[in-house]
Amino acid sequence: MKKQVLNGVKLLVFCILLSCNDREAIQAPVSDRIATDPYYNDSISNTNSQQRNPGPGGGVMMQAFYWDVPAGGNWYNTVKSKLASWDAAGISAIWLPPVSKAMNGPYSMGYDPSDYFDLGEYNQNGSVETRFGSKAELISLINTAHNYDIQVYADIVLNHNSGGQSESNPFTGTSTYTDFNPASGKFYRSASDFHPNNIVGYDEGVFGGFPDLSHSVPYVQDWLWNRSDGVGKYYKNVIGFDGWRFDYVKGFGGWVVREWNNNVGGFSVGEYWDGNAQKLQDWVNSTNRTSSAFDFACYYKMEEAFDGNDLTKLNGDMLWKRDAQKAVTFVANHDTDEIYDKMHAYAYIFTHEGYPTLFYKDYEEWLDKNKLNNLIWIHRNLATGNTSILYADNDEYIARRNGSPGVVVYLNDSNQWTERWIQTNWSNTIIKDYTGNSNWEPTTQGDQWVKIQCPPNSYSIWSVK
């Protein structure tokens, strides 16, 4: 959505983890260890083994852009230059901005789509390349990502179009900017392809006054997801995208995403911008569960908890608690960046259920990359099983992942060290804090209870040594 200016290896990993009691390298930055420590590799003798086996905890997505990335057509090359280090850190997928030529050509972030088939190769709207680069550079980026077994997700804007010419509109009795004559020669559009038309007057939502694409029109359906040379199948089968981030899905019915996914395939996540977990669940269900959704309910609860110094807010309703397999969690994105206490938030999403997303600026510029790499490794290798919340008050929050090996995460929002007795899933077992924030290595009792600690304004994450 546009920025709101408008306002196999599982068993092997487990065995190695349980047998290597004296291995202290875990507390070093992940990026410094992968090449030399066999713990971080599998039986595939290949630098890409991290992605071929994302670990029992699952993968991590990187939002590989932010609002107003540098113009000039070099962003694809910038992202491409990051892939080796992102692979080493454990990133398993990247999400790119909209790749098609938009109304504002070289200056557009892509959310005003004009020609879905101009990926930076036709001279229209003021440029050949898009803001991010050329079609050839895009394909090179995707191919390089695939060489690292990193998936690539496209940002798909289906609700609205922009940049059409004025025409007489028989459905409104006025002139509207609905005459699209793309230089690619594909998917011409006219007034009959937008709302209102002779099939339906409107759908779920109009955005920003742009012409509102009508997905009820068979011609539109054909060009978006049915045709073998249509948008979806061209992006997937020719360009090489592995999945989709659907923009502003409040603007059309969930059936649209369902039809796209059933006909095109690939991973799917929708931007249903709402802090109500029930509404997020309803939208996922409306796609016949073919799509995940960004967990805005989790996002806003984290903001209340960490910025409001009330960790009891984490007891609130979130999509991951209802439907963990369909929840994509995040701390910031190109549209909204409201959480100030980000490290607590990342510690939360990397230790809880859901598919966690890293924001480019957080990782590359604003936060401690070594700490984020550590959390990525913990997520992928230790954070398994369902979640039990063990304790929560204004300053402290403790939760347990009940898988094998599983973790206990301790969040402390106070200005002093805290300690607490908690029940684990481990009997008579030495545990350690895999963040290195505590040097304790306590042994759990026969009844699985143990005392753990957490530094002030920080977090600790415990698992078997």
What's the pLDDT score for residue 54?
Answer: 73
What would the two tokens of residue 292 be?
């995940």
Rounded to the nearest 10 degrees, how much is the dihedral formed by the CA atoms of 130, 135, 141, 146?
A: 140
What's the pLDDT score for residue 149?
Answer: 96
Q: Is 376 in contact with 31 (CB distance < 8 Å)? A: no
- Tell me: cis bond preceding 405? Omega within 30 of 0 counts: yes
What's the pLDDT score for residue 52?
Answer: 55
Could you report the per-residue pLDDT of 421-436, keeping only the tens digit for each? 999 999 999 999 999 9
Q: Give the residue carrying structure tokens 């979130």.
A: 318
CA 256 to chain CA centroid, nearest Å: 21
**In whole angstroms, what is the distance from residue 67 CA to residue 2 CA?**
9
What's the pLDDT score for residue 45?
Answer: 28
What's the pLDDT score for residue 289?
Answer: 98
Rounded to the nearest 10 degrees, how much is the dihedral formed by the CA atoms of 289, 294, 296, 297?
A: 40
If residue 124 lies in a helix (H) or strand (E), which one and from where to where?
A: none
Q: Is 424 in contact with 440 (CB distance < 8 Å)? A: no
Partners of 62 in the β-ladder: 94, 358
Partners of 213 in the β-ladder: 194
What's the pLDDT score for residue 55?
Answer: 82
What would the two tokens of residue 427 be?
């009997």
Angle at 80 between CA 28 and CA 43, to 5 degrees: 50
Question: Which domains occur in the chain, in start order?
Answer: 1-56+81-88+134-155+272-383 (no CATH), 385-465 (2.60.40.1180)
Question: What is the block-wise mean pLDDT of the chain (465 residues), using blocks of 10 residues?
Answer: 41 37 31 27 33 80 98 98 98 98 97 98 98 98 98 98 98 98 98 98 94 98 98 98 98 98 98 98 98 98 98 98 98 98 98 98 98 98 98 98 97 98 98 98 98 98 98
Which one, of 281, 215, 270, 224, lies nearest residue 247 by Cα? 270
